[in-house]
């Protein structure tokens, strides 16, 4: 099966791309960092992985991505919407321009990809879409900006909307909501000198493992996950319980 991972050139997206490829998927890594996406694809396998320079805020670019993937690998069976803009700007310092920038990537990008690829999957009668949400969208955010938290809350709502619409066509749509992960993005926001104290505030006492998040994504992306849709799977070390 063919999988597309947006924002897959590095960090959590790269971990997800590696995991899906290890499961036997042909993987297309779509990222604004086209060079990074191509480098990762080459390191996986140049015959079954491809890197593409794609801006998810551009609907035509997403349509072109779908067309190119179908031409090369056949129908897309899995979409992981991981592309995101992460900002930790203090709430009252967020400008309208920065707010629009974050929402354009995180919300509009995810929504448009669900439309473009979801319609394709519905035509095929099968598909798995996994949207990357965040603990910030559930608790209002503690280390990230209010615009980022708001965008991730919107992603969880959009997941339910698309799940309901596509369920009858054997297309599932789910979200994964990670808390703080041991990743370059989290280390950059928190600061290396603050990591130990930060981890002590997590009930399990440690940052999450991106490889495990990738395992969860792979499970939701599998054919066996047909009975799970509209769900949000939490991976936050106990920071948010419901």
Which residues are marked as active site? 148
Closest C-alpha to 145, from 84, 91, 82: 91
d(CA 159, CA 173): 6
Q: What does the angle CA 39 – CA 119 – CA 137 come to, to the nearest 5 degrees?
A: 70
End-to-end CA distance of the chain: 34
β-sheet with 127-132: strand ranges across: 49-53, 26-31, 2-6, 76-81, 127-132, 171-178, 232-235
């Amino acid at each position: 099966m063919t999988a597309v991972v947006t924002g897959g050139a590095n960090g959590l997206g790269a971990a997800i791309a590696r995991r899906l490829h290890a499961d036997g998927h042909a993987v297309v890594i779509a990222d604004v960092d086209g060079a990074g996406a191509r480098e990762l694809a080459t390191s996986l396998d140049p015959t079954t992985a491809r890197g593409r320079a794609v801006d998810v805020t551009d609907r035509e670019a997403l349509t072109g991505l779908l067309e190119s993937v179908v031409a090369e690998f056949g129908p897309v069976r899995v979409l992981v919407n991981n592309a995101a803009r992460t900002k930790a700007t203090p709430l009252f310092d967020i400008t309208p321009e920065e707010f629009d920038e974050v929402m354009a990537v995180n919300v509009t990008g995810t929504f448009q990809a669900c439309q473009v690829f979801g319609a394709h999957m519905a035509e095929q009668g099968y598909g798995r879409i996994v949207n990357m949400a965040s603990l910030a969208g559930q608790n209002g955010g503690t280390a990230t900006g209010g615009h980022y938290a708001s965008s991730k809350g919107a992603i969880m709502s959009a997941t339910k909307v698309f799940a309901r619409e596509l369920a009858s066509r054997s297309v599932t749509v789910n979200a994964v909501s990670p808390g703080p992960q041991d990743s370059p993005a989290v280390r950059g926001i928190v600061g290396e000198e603050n990591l130990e104290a930060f981890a002590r505030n997590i009930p399990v006492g440690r940052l999450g493992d991106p490889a495990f998040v990738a395992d969860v994504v792979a499970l939701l992306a599998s054919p066996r996950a047909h009975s799970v849709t509209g769900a949000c799977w939490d991976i936050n070390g106990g920071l948010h319980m419901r």
